[in-house]
Chains A and B, each alone.
Chain A
Amino acid sequence: MSIRERLSGNEAAATAMKQINPDVVAAFPITPSTEIPQYFSTFVANGVVDTEFVAVESEHSAMSACIGAEAAGARAMTATSANGLSLMWEMIYIASSLRLPIVLSLVNRAVSGPLNIHCDHSDAMGVRDSGWIMLFSETNQEAYDNTLMAHRIAEHKDVMLPLMICQDGFITSHAIENIELVEDDKVKEFVGEYKPEHYLLNKNEPIAVGPLDLQAYLFEHKAQQAEAMKNAKQVILDVSKDFEKMTGRKYGLFEEYKLDDCEVAIVCMNSTAGTTKFVVDNLRNQGIKAGLLKVRVFRPFPAEEIAKALSHVKAVAILDKADSLNAAGGALFEDTVSAMYVNNVHVPAINYIYGIGGRDTKADDIESVYKDLLEITQTGNIENPYRYLGLRKEEN
């Protein structure tokens, strides 16, 4: 029997980490992810886990220590947000290039500047091309479930890539909600033991990690990383299927909510999907065929699958909780429309930048997006595909 609990998103992530019982956790405090290492260090202090907790002096060192630990043969985990991830940035790329399946809990927050502690996705978007698998989570339950699946995906021999689980800062990280936990022994069995093929602490086979890698080989090594990312898609689906067998909770590359017969669709990630589902239900009651595509797996990007899932809609809006400041559109928008174009899906598409710096996104805001989409289906006009949602108008 699963365990019914009430936990915040941070507690959920920390609980998953406790059940996974990694060998090393190296972390540094930063709002709003601080609670994760706090809870976890309590588990360590009380002897509930076997983990060595390394209370590093910066996030750069947190990721460096995770790399050292994972290369040494350990399972290493960390948690961070915003500027913490920015400070890790150099090491984030090194972790993936060394093919180390480190797992990071990213509690999404706006990257400075100016300084802001609230949720947007600018931290995650800053590392979207770093070779990490990126899973997004609508609720504390999904943050927990994604964490339980993380090592099975990351450590798969065809993958061997680091993985981050994203959830919205404060919105889910600090909100206490009902959650179903898996029993400790079942988690242990599901996650399994990590048996790396080559690692520093194997005296019988010393290895060297992190070379100077010049023109003769780097290209091939990068292509191998790209191949691993492609392989990750099927592995994620397989692991999710096993997870469903254990828990009954079904996960794919993305979630389709009333999408199959819809005319107007929204694509978004994390907690905004919850608000959008509420709006979809309201609109359906009014006879409006609204639907949602919630991206769970942002990296690898399920380009072909998303294009196919959207091929029948009359108009689609892609919501980005981070602006790319490129005068063209947000990252999720660009990935989605490029996937559609390549797969010969020609659906009118617009982009909304929303929720920057924790600006609240209400049901009314989401409803206005569907209204805009309905107008597009009638007029066929898209004057400006790169829009804001919830931006305060200039006050007179």
Chain B
Amino acid sequence: MAYNVKEIVANKPSRFTAGHRMCAGCGAPPIARHIMRALKPEDHAVVANATGCMEVSTFIYPYTAWTDSFIHTAFECAGATLAGAEAAYVSMKKQGKLPQDGETKFIAFGGDGGTYDIGLQSLSGAMERGHDMVYVCYDNGAYMNTGIQRSSATPKFADTTTSPAGKVIPGKMQSRKDLAKIMVGHHIPYVAQTLGYMNFKDLYEKAEKAIYTKGPAFLNVLAPCPRGWGYATDDLMKINKLAVETCYWPLYEVIDGVYHISYKPANKLPIEEFLKPQKRFKHMFKPGNEWMIEEFQKEVDSRWQELLNLEGI
């Protein structure tokens, strides 16, 4: 059946409820809500969160925004925690110890800090061991929960509170880690990069594949942050669109090691379009800093070309 966002929203009640305390204009809540909607209505889910914005805003005792079972333990171990729950499921199902039939699905959400950095080992272990689970990184490109510190997902030159654009050092001087490729290196059956764009079709379809592919799956989802990136809260969808149309955030999936690019812009926009509406890149537009934009563009181009080459293999 063709994707129809209206039908999905109408027919599949949200499993991530209103009343959570995430910021207006944050990219993460629509991602979580839509990924949870990709579950079959009859299936139960165990959701794990790494410590981060999403966790501290959706489960403040005694309130929770999650209608499925949910667990949070610590910052760096959503992967291992959920792997333990999945192992329990396998064991108890085999022994006939569960009170119900039907499927339980396992989905972890972590920010880029809890995934690219402190949680990388735990994630890698869970993926390597082959647990039947999906790990979703909602990548907002910095430690936003603690107040916008740089992570290994922070783009080059971005102004953060631990990579401030100063008089001598103009923001973060290192390039962004390519986590999706690291996950591809685990030879897991499904890896995808996506975001909320074009009625969330790409996100929904990839979430569905990730959840219903047997074995470990990884989704890297760009989740703009109005506080950390410095855009107006109602510009969320515009920022998402520009991330895709400039090829800053290419949409692709890797199924059993084979790359498929999900969307190729007919008219690839210059990177300034993506950088300009964001305060974290403001210093790049000062006279004399043109080299920064050039360098940024070069990196976007080379990564996009690399992806085209990988698809061609």
Residues in chain A within 8 A of chain B (CB atoms) = 23-24, 26, 50-52, 54-58, 60-62, 64-74, 76, 90-91, 94, 98, 200-204, 206-214, 216-217
Contact = CB atoms under 8 A, between A and B. Distances in A.
B69 A207 contact: yes
Contacts of A74: 87-88, 91-92
A241 B60 CA distance: 42
Contact of A69 (B61, B74, B76, B84): B84
Interface in B256-278: none
A204 B84 contact: no
B174 interface: no
A26 B94 contact: no
Contacts, number: 171
B147 to A, nearest CB: 16
Contact of B92 (A23, A62, A214): A23
Given A23-B95, A26-B84, A61-B121, A91 B77 contact: yes
B81 A67 contact: yes
B59 interface: yes
Given A57-B128, A73-B92, A91-B73, A68 B61 contact: no
Contacts of A26: 84, 87
Which of B88, B94, B95, B104 has the most chain A CB atoms closer than 10 A to its own CB?
B88
Interface in B90-111: 90-92, 94-95, 97-100, 102, 104
A208 B68 CA distance: 8
Contacts of A210: 59, 71-73
12 contacts: A24-B87, A52-B90, A54-B83, A60-B80, A91-B77, A201-B69, A202-B69, A204-B100, A206-B70, A213-B61, A214-B61, A216-B61
A72 B87 CA distance: 9
A64 B64 contact: no
Given A73-B92, A204-B99, 10 more contacts: A24-B87, A50-B94, A50-B95, A57-B124, A60-B122, A76-B84, A94-B74, A202-B69, A208-B69, A211-B60
Contacts of B64: 208, 211
A64 B81 contact: yes
B69 to A, nearest CB: 4
A15 B97 CA distance: 23
Contacts of B121: 57-58, 61
Contact of B87 (A54, A206, A212): A54
Contacts of B124: 57
Contact of A72 (B60, B85, B122): B85
A74 B97 CA distance: 9
B62 interface: yes
A54 B131 CA distance: 10
B92 A201 contact: yes
A23 B88 contact: yes
A211 B72 contact: yes
Contacts of B60: 211-212, 214
A70 B91 CA distance: 12
Contacts of A64: 73-74, 77, 80-81, 84, 122
B55 interface: yes
A201 B86 CA distance: 9
B74 A54 contact: no
Which of A23, A65, A91 has the most chain B CB atoms closer than 10 A to its own CB?
A65
B55 to A, nearest CB: 7
A58 B129 CA distance: 13
B166 to A, nearest CB: 34
B236 interface: no
Nearest to A26: B84
- Which 3 pairs show the lowest CB-CB distances between chains A and B? A68-B84, A65-B84, A57-B125
B59 A212 contact: yes
A91 B70 contact: no
B63 to A, nearest CB: 8
B307 interface: no
A310 B46 CA distance: 51
Contact of A51 (B84, B91, B122, B125): B91
Contact of B81 (A65, A204, A211, A217): A65
B124 to A, nearest CB: 7
Nearest to A50: B95
A213 B63 CA distance: 10
Contacts of A73: 88, 92, 97-98
B61 A217 contact: yes
A389 B128 CA distance: 48
B104 A201 contact: yes
B76 to A, nearest CB: 7
A24 B84 contact: yes
B85 A68 contact: yes
A71 B66 contact: no
B84 A72 contact: yes
A291 to B, nearest CB: 45
A201 to B, nearest CB: 6
A371 to B, nearest CB: 50
A224 to B, nearest CB: 13
Contact of B125 (A56, A70, A76): A56
Contacts of B56: 212
Contacts of A91: 73-74, 77
